[in-house]
Amino acid sequence: MLSQQSHFPAAMSPPSMAAVYYKYGPVDTVIRLTEIPPVEISENDVCVKMLAAPINPADINRIEGVYPNQPPLPAVGGGEGVGEIHSVGSAVKVFSPGDLVIRSPYVPGAWQTYMVEEQSLWHKIDKSTPIEYAATVSVNPVSALRMLNEFVTLKPGDSIVQNGATSIVGQCFIQLARFRGIHSINIIRDSPKSDEVKEKLIKLGADKVFTESELDVKRVKILLGDTPEPILGLNCVGGNAATLLVKFLKQGGTMVTYGGMSRDPVVVSTSNFIFKDITLKGFWLQEWKLSKTKYRDWIDYLLGLARAGKLKYEMELVSFNDFHKALEKAMGKHGSQRKQVLIF
């Protein structure tokens, strides 16, 4: 007698609306909103209803094709985000519908209304967390925390110097350094609103804020006053802004480059290498090897600060239906300085 087996229909996700790109190139021309049919939910998968996801410069660079490792095409954009568990596979025990979760960074696909992925890619967080901070914590704030912790040994009373101070990473550097009693010297671009920007950064905890033109002098260290010379410099701009940053560094200082917003090369004088023993390093979060436990501990620490109102940065919440408007702002076409966060 043949044994009989019950065949249950596979659990499926709802259909999803997604921002999909089919080739690499200028992001505003190669990506479009597309409906994705339901996806099967395997036993170790979770289906997550996305709530919010930011548009990061790294997301744009990935779609432009400038990164060495790329997902197979077509692909859904977006490298981080927060969602709510919609349903779970039969073997999933650690998640339940309604849990608030964030995804591992740089796993492509955050810009869609529903996601189906293996449960290990998600981390449950406190439901009281503001979704805009949950959506943005795993790339920029984590990068700031890592760079402060792992390139040089900083102690209370030390100093750091950075350009790109108005970015989310820059704002996090200022606040995280202040919590540890570390001084921050900050370089910003010249603009008609420079004084307003300075005031905002000082309110966050910045010790010194200078425009690039204010540093067009031979001895920039005179501007420090009683603030110690920084041992760590954090560069995300390149070009002249990086050259100015190096001028501040003390003997044996280190500059870490984690971006190149100006698209100009980093130029360091020979004398800074020979007579100041300057060290140059690079940082790319995607290639950073960190244990899952430590990474998630850092996430919980940062979100705890955000819930307590101790970690703040500027964001603009935009409906996913207005994706292309948000994309234009994220690319700087409308002069917006705020991080664009898509709300689903």
Q: Which helix (H) or strand (E) holds 57?
A: helix 57-64
Q: Which helix (H) or strand (E) holds 330?
A: helix 323-330
> How many Cα atoms within 13 Å fall on the side-chain side of residue 189?
12
Residue 120: burial class (beta carbons within 10 Å; 0-12, 13-18, 19+): exposed
Strands 45-54 and 339-343: antiparallel
Which CA distances in Å does 40 have to 9, 47, 121, 148?
10, 9, 17, 42
11 CB contacts (<8 Å, ≥6 apart)? Answer: 40, 41, 47, 87, 89
Coil, strand or helix at 3: coil
Residue 51 is encoded by which pair of tokens? 């709530």
Tell me the longest C-alpha to C-alpha distance in the chain: 93
Strands 232-235 and 315-319: unpaired
| Catalytic site positions | 67
Task: Report yes or no: 188 and 209 within 8 Å, Cβ to Cβ.
Answer: yes
> How many Cα atoms within 13 Å fall on the side-chain side of residue 74?
13
Coil, strand or helix at 128: coil
